Amino acid sequence: MSRGIDTPPAGLETVAVSRGRMTFGQALADRVFRFALRGATAVFVLIIADLFLQLVRGSWEAIVTFGPKFLITSEWNPVTGKFGALPFIYGTVVSSAIAIIVASAVGILAAVFLAEFAPPVIARPVSFLIELLAAIPSVVFGLWGLFVLAPILATTVDPFLQRAFGFLPIFSGAIYGVGLLTAGLLLALMIVPTVAAISRDLILAVPNELREASYALGATRWETVTRVVLPAARGGIIGACVLALGRALGETIAATMVIGNRPAISVSLFAPSYTLSSVIANEFTEATSSIYLSSLLALGLILFVISIVVNSSARVLMWSMLQRTRAR
């Protein structure tokens, strides 16, 4: 790792100019260059600060009108001007929860396969394919979700779930094809590459000594993986899952196309719902009053805060795991 390079003390340039080591033109260019670097960085920081400030400023009307009750009100009525964030928080949380549960299971198992069991001739192309999944634009996922996934779920999977587990409230109710379950599964597909790629790198990074010690003690391959390798990488894998959760929470277009656009809370997973990002996407250009617009911006602020909290937690988890392996 190369170190940062020290700047010479302030007086050295004039010394260099007077001693002929740097011409005046070069000293000037040096100053300009350093100003450009500092200026660009300042612009960068200002942009981020302004992002937060503008969201707060735009939400201000909603914040002072509704107060903290905005977060627990479930009414969303543009006609009477009463707005509350609860249905969207519910939709976002539930769809992302489904996504992270499914994606963690599939992604971690896939990572185990690619890191531990697969011969390189299979591991490399499959890893490449899974990483390519991460590059596909979300609107294409949404298109596929709307025209392929939703009909399949509506005609085969959902009825099966209702027949088999219909006594559970989450599988009750009418089946539309679009809804929380569809959105959750589509989001799962979109975040599986994140979980799989990071987990695979973490598993590969577990020192071989641990595996060899486990084999020396007589463990089978599977026992080694489940009792030695995975616990060693556990913190980082959890961090990867939380990072993927952050992506699912913020995903807009794919969710909008399959969520069903209904601002109400129902227990059933088949019911149409609404996420924070979807309602902004659908209703922003139609917001007729300033309180309506401000409420949508407040939803954006909530989304912003949630994503920062989740992403920071992910980084802290992965960093603390790194610290622990270093301490060994």
Partner 1 sequence: MILTGFCSALAAGLLIMLLGYVIVQGWGAINPAFLTQLPRPVGVSGGGVANGIVGSAIVIGLATLMAIPIGGLTGVYLAVYGRGLGAEFIRFLAEVLGGVPSIAVGLFAYTILVQPFSHFSGFSAAFAFTVLMLPLMVRTSEEAIRAVPISIREGALALGLPDYGSIIHVVLPAARPLIITGLLLAIARITGETAPLLFTAFGSQFWEVNPGNPMAVLALQIFTYAISPYDDWHRQAWGGALILIFAVLVLNVAARLAVSRRTKKL
Looking at beta carbons only, is 20 or 218 nearer to partner 1? 20
Site string for partner 1, 255-274 (x = CB under 8 A): -xx-----------------
Candidate ranges 5-13, 78-86, 161-169, 318-326; the one touching partner 1 (CB under 8 A) = 5-13
Kindly state the smallest distance separating residue 167's Cβ from partner 1, in Å.
28
Kindly state the smallest distance separating residue 234's Cβ from partner 1, in Å.
17
* 100/103 Cα distance (integer angstroms): 5
The answer to the question of residue 312 lying near partner 1 (CB under 8 A) is yes
Kindly state the smallest distance separating residue 4's Cβ from partner 1, in Å.
4
Contact 246, 305 (CB under 8 A): no
Q: How far apart are the first and last CA of the chain?
A: 21
CA distances from 192 to 1, 186, 321 (A): 31, 10, 21
Residue 170 DSSP code: G
Looking at beta carbons only, is 221 or 324 nearer to partner 1? 221
Instruction: Provide the 3-class DSSP secondary structure of residue 125.
Output: helix
Other beta carbons within 10 Å of 198 = 22
Q: What are phi and psi of 271, to 5 degrees?
A: -75, 145
Contact 117, 206 (CB under 8 A): no
Q: Which of residues 176-215 bind partner 1 (CB under 8 A)?
A: 189, 192-193, 196
Contact pick of 63, 93, 118, 219 for partner 1 (by CB under 8 A): 118
Site string for partner 1, 64-103 (x = CB under 8 A): ----------------------------------------
Contact pick of 15, 18, 40, 319 for partner 1 (by CB under 8 A): 40
The answer to the question of residue 239 lying near partner 1 (CB under 8 A) is no
User: How many residues bind partner 1, per CB under 8 A?
Assistant: 93
* 172/266 Cα distance (integer angstroms): 10
The answer to the question of residue 117 lying near partner 1 (CB under 8 A) is yes
CA distances from 132 to 104, 116, 129, 136, 328 (A): 18, 21, 5, 7, 35
Q: Which of residues 48-67 bind partner 1 (CB under 8 A)?
A: 48, 50-51, 54-55, 57-58
